[in-house]
Amino acid sequence: MHTILELRHAECESPGALGAGLADRTRIETVRMWAEPLPADPANVDGILVMGGPMGADDGPTVPWIDEEIAFLRRAVDVGVPVWGACLGSQLLATALGAEVTTGPAPEIGVFDVTLTDEGRHDPVWSGLGAATFPALHWHFDTFSLPPGAHLLASSAAYRHQLFRHGPHYGVQFHLEVDSPLLQEWLAVDEYRAELRATLGDDGVERLTADVADAAPVTHPMAVAAVRRWFDLHIGP
């Protein structure tokens, strides 16, 4: 059986629908970055899922393992291990590929539409998964420049760089993996609830809960289908 390494940055930010999509294809081994060491050699796994988290790609001075993780991802890219990065994971992957991560003009928190570019509509992973525009959960303050040699696959109204491909590696700024049960795990964390209310207002928790539930019939099957295609194309049956 193939092995996928999951790099987790907060206990509540698990692979969600991505894990469901891979459950019958591979074994997922989780490294909790705040408590556990990275493997010595990324070539010993078949693929890497890099999940979200409340820290930033430039937080190396205060979060020491961030720079170590970026270096690990750089080595993974160098030896051809496919990487899928979600939100913070997309920013860490972009950094490993030579891009710059910066704070955006405003937080993008909520369920907003994402639109595939022409390349996205013809990408082997993302083509044919449904409408070219679809809703997705966003929860980020930072954004990335497009890595050299990468292809832009999707944008939102607020942030142009939402999804990119670089060889077998995909950076996904939005949280396609989050369904209603996983969102409730996020909202059980006091800091997440406070951040949501500070951004969306006192009814932010209720509004986001309803919006994610409305989007889940689209986003959950799309996440499952996309990550399965990534696995089948770049890792193997």
| Rounded Cα–Cα distance for residues 234 and 81 (Å) | 9
Q: What is the mean pLDDT of residues 128-143?
A: 96
- Give the domains, in start order, of the chain with CATH numbers: 2-234 (3.40.50.880)
pLDDT value of residue 100: 98
| Rounded Cα–Cα distance for residues 173 and 86 (Å) | 6
Give per-residue pLDDT as tens, 21-79: 999 999 999 999 999 999 999 999 999 999 999 999 999 999 999 999 999 999 999 99
Give per-residue pLDDT as tens, 157-209: 999 999 999 999 999 999 999 999 999 999 999 999 999 999 999 999 999 99
pLDDT value of residue 237: 75
Question: Which two structure tokens, joined as six digits, stand for 40?
Answer: 């010595």
pLDDT value of residue 1: 83
| Rounded Cα–Cα distance for residues 220 and 19 (Å) | 11
132 near 172, Cβ under 8 Å?
A: no
5 near 38, Cβ under 8 Å?
A: no
| Rounded Cα–Cα distance for residues 68 and 81 (Å) | 17
| Rounded Cα–Cα distance for residues 172 and 91 (Å) | 9
> What global pTM score does this model have?
0.97
125-150 burial, b at 16+ Cβ within 10 Å, e below that, comes to: bbeebeeeebbbbbbbebbbebbeeb
